[in-house]
Structure 1
């Protein structure tokens, strides 16, 4: 996720250790996801490259983690994107989302986030519509402003796209996802009206009998394209993909509320910070004259990023993260270059890791569940995207996700 972090002005999560010898992780039997009105837990995957690992190792871990997350009953997986740094080696979260949607059947897949400061809104809108329509509504587009990184020079958008241009980019993206013909007449984008193809909000026609399903060549069984989540929630097939927005400042909260978008809240914020941001969102929402019923629906879709590490003992869970994440923060985030040489300030990586252990679901299964339930009770948040790869190890990440599904989720009610 490329939004401002308290460490560097970017985003943070994960850890560096040498890649251990890999062993096969037995996959759990497929679990039903939680009901839609309960707490929904997803895995947050950065495709982080830890010391001693190749780029392919990091990406393979992400793909494996998504498959295990679905089998473990998690609600969703969320993918970050970064450029030119080992902190995360996925440069296009929507592209990786397409692969994971093809590898899975039930789980939701979202970007956390696709960075609008370096992406053309129409191109991103076309990708989002394509993934929404072909996945049966399993794709969620998370967007964010990004950071003042060298990316802005490389992709030619310039620092103005980051400092002043986000609102114009966001509005063009939303018009594309919700319209049938779109033109632009702004300082960044100016083009005549064109047809939106494919339309993200188009309804499906009833399939012809001969095309009603497709044959899985491996098993010889007939499957239908997904029309409904396994938890019973209908797919929003006549609407475009859900959109969430990363918010790290009062201005970002206002932007999200004015456009009716749920927020993605960062890992660094504690429960009290979340409460304040949610209150600011309600204030901005009501100032726009919107109704309380719609506000209640939107508030169920706010998403909080966090960390999870499940172990038999609290000391074991904390030790695993404290032994890996500080070095990874320094190694991965230290590679960021600013677009104009502006000063970067980093918090102490170990102190920051300790803060994350204190704030989030790190400990025994009961402690992890209690932490999530406490945050839900204090803030009203019902959705979580939890960084599960903080150990930096392939096998340990798969085990962590499997335990989250089998030992923590059943305690959430």
Structure 2
């Protein structure tokens, strides 16, 4: 089992922007010292939900400050960028880190991003699909040549070439169409831990079916499950400690994300619209309602409760790669304490062992 940490760069009122980045580096360096296998960076624009507008730039800094931990992007928003520039930067990070960089991609969900960068959100899925194909073509054939209605590229070879023969690439995915697309290419998913165990298991089952139809062994695909994670002496204390901050986070997200009215007009976000409808049917109509639902379905509680929840998720989905967000208290020292408590008291119950510097 591999376990990584999510580095959000969220900016609450009581932290300055400089503190956000200083603390984020503290978390990355501590995760490396503890022996977590990976650290993941989130791209956001125009919102305090996250201050990192360029995960590739930040990844270079994190890689330079750490010794062994792998660093991934969760995600690079592909439609906002250019595939040649992404593959050039990815290859350079792969070379500089001797294979410690992981590219994770997504198509975006915040309307101001598309407006500011002049991208039609109705085409986000098409752009992501082609950009991924171009990136993988460069890795395989060393040429960026491409000709389609969306993008035309000359026959150029981006340098440097990648350090890793077959670089790992992840894609965010929950909707059936995204799952089918990823499975057809053997791209592992970054999946949020939200909802019932049955719903999470359904994602991997659907992926496996499509992968097998394309001649890909699903057992070789290292999906990753992402979740908020927090531990305290009791489950009640753990929940109370983060509830207010999680409400803040949810409000920041909702202020930046597509509205229901936006989603109704975007057929390529039909799954996300369905998720909103499902929340309405559950009665989650307020920030507090949804936050409670989110906490109920995350890795939050006593050490015993957290370990049990993780074990049940792994058994239901078959996923053995966990990405945990420890920042829910929005308190620098408490976050580092929780990272250590998980490594000492929670994860060993599932057979997890820290990465040792000597083995890297």
- The alignment status of 1:407 with 2:328, answered yes or no, reads no
- The alignment status of 1:178 with 2:140, answered yes or no, reads yes
Aligned to 1:164: 126
- The alignment status of 1:83 with 2:45, answered yes or no, reads yes
- Report the CA distance between 1:148 and its aligned residue: 5.2
Provide the C-alpha distance between the structure 1 equivalents of 2:248 and 2:9, rounded to a whole number of angstroms: 16
- The alignment status of 1:192 with 2:115, answered yes or no, reads no
Provide the C-alpha distance between the structure 1 equivalents of 2:19 and 2:258, rounded to a whole number of angstroms: 24
Q: How does 1:79-118 map to 2 (within 5 A)?
A: 79-118=41-80
- Report the CA distance between 1:145 and its aligned residue: 1.3
Q: 1:86-117: CA deviations, max 9, x gaps?
A: 10110111111111111111111111111112
Aligned to 1:397: 335
Stretches of 4+ moved more than 4 A in 1?
340-347
Q: 1:51 to 1:267 in 2, by over 3 A?
A: farther
- Give the conservation status (yes or no) of the 8 Å contact 1:142–1:243: yes
- Report the CA distance between 1:312 and its aligned residue: 1.2
User: Under a length normalisation based on structure 2, what TM-score does the superposition of the two structures give?
Assistant: 0.87
- Give the conservation status (yes or no) of the 8 Å contact 2:110–2:257: no
- Give the conservation status (yes or no) of the 8 Å contact 2:47–2:252: no
Aligned to 2:86: 124
- Give the conservation status (yes or no) of the 8 Å contact 1:148–1:159: no
User: Under a length normalisation based on structure 1, what TM-score does the superposition of the two structures give?
Assistant: 0.76
Which residue, 241, 246, 250 being the options, matches 1:325?
246
- The alignment status of 1:144 with 2:82, answered yes or no, reads no
- Could you say which structure has the larger radius of gyration? 1
Aligned to 1:297: 220
- The alignment status of 1:274 with 2:236, answered yes or no, reads no
Which residue, 226, 229, 241 being the options, matches 1:308?
229
Q: 1:258 to 1:131 in 2, by over 3 A?
A: same
**What secondary structure sits across from 1:309 in the alignment?**
strand
**What secondary structure sits across from 2:314 in the alignment?**
helix
Q: 1:163 to 1:144 in 2, by over 3 A?
A: closer
- Give the conservation status (yes or no) of the 8 Å contact 1:179–1:196: no
**What secondary structure sits across from 2:212 in the alignment?**
helix
Provide the C-alpha distance between the structure 2 equivalents of 1:177 and 1:245, rounded to a whole number of angstroms: 17
Aligned to 1:362: 300
After superposition, the CA RMSD in angstroms is 2.0
Q: How does 1:20-59 map to 2 (within 5 A)?
A: 39-59=1-21
Provide the C-alpha distance between the structure 2 equivalents of 1:393 and 1:326, rounded to a whole number of angstroms: 15
Provide the C-alpha distance between the structure 1 equivalents of 2:112 and 2:300, rounded to a whole number of angstroms: 34
**What secondary structure sits across from 1:272 in the alignment?**
helix
Aligned to 1:220: none
Provide the C-alpha distance between the structure 2 equivalents of 1:245 and 1:75, rounded to a whole number of angstroms: 19
- The alignment status of 1:249 with 2:213, answered yes or no, reads no
Provide the C-alpha distance between the structure 2 equivalents of 1:304 and 1:54, rounded to a whole number of angstroms: 30
Aligned to 2:268: none
Provide the C-alpha distance between the structure 2 equivalents of 1:105 and 1:124, rounded to a whole number of angstroms: 24
- Give the conservation status (yes or no) of the 8 Å contact 2:234–2:301: yes
**What secondary structure sits across from 2:313 in the alignment?**
helix
**What secondary structure sits across from 2:49 in the alignment?**
coil
Q: 1:254 to 1:190 in 2, by over 3 A?
A: same
- Report the CA distance between 1:119 and its aligned residue: 1.4
- Give the conservation status (yes or no) of the 8 Å contact 1:181–1:193: yes
Which of structures 1 and 2 has the larger relative contact order (alpha carbons within 8 angstroms, sep 6+)?
Answer: 1
- The alignment status of 1:71 with 2:33, answered yes or no, reads yes
- Report the CA distance between 1:281 and its aligned residue: 0.7
Greater percentage in helix: 2
**What secondary structure sits across from 1:261 in the alignment?**
coil
Which residue, 177, 180, 187 being the options, matches 1:261?
187
